[in-house]
Amino acid sequence: MTKDDNYIKGLKKMREMGREDTMLNQRKISEDMYKLSVSTLFGEIWNRPHLSLRERQLITLAANIALSRPHGTHTHYRSAHHIGITHEEICEVMIHVGMYGGWPCIAHATEQYLEVLEERGDPMASAKPTRDDIDGI
């Protein structure tokens, strides 16, 4: 397998994930950096055997949430939706990671995910939370 083969595999994987626009900022400053990232990350790592695309996406979301990554997580929420991971599953990853990584992970992930939902026009993003439970006490 040549570097060019991995680059083509990487581009195909990015398309499958709905990530054609990923890392274009790298391409702006260095074509070599972009090709290396596409070839290695998407051509090799995301195409390895033993884990499905879905499993890899869930693992990546969990790692980004646990590390409270300021960048990159938004694109993984988009990819998760693109490949069929449900809203409920994404929230469950946030909850599970929050139990191990701490509540600030959930708070940060919630803000990022709401931004993605808002850009998608999801009505959940603009819904007003209620205080029904607290007000009833």
Q: Is residue 136 part of a domain?
A: no
Contacts of 106 (CB under 8 A, 6+ apart): 65, 94, 95, 97, 98
Position 4 pLDDT exceeds 90: no
CB 82 within 8 A of CB 18: yes
Residue 14 lies in domain: 1-50
- The pTM of the full predicted model, rounded to 2 decimals, is 0.86
Query: What value does the mean pLDDT take over residues 49-70?
Result: 96
| Residues 57 and 46 both lie in one domain | no
pLDDT of residue 133: 67
- Please tell me the total count of domains within the chain: 2
Position 136 pLDDT exceeds 80: no
| Residues 6 and 39 both lie in one domain | yes
| Residues 123 and 89 both lie in one domain | yes
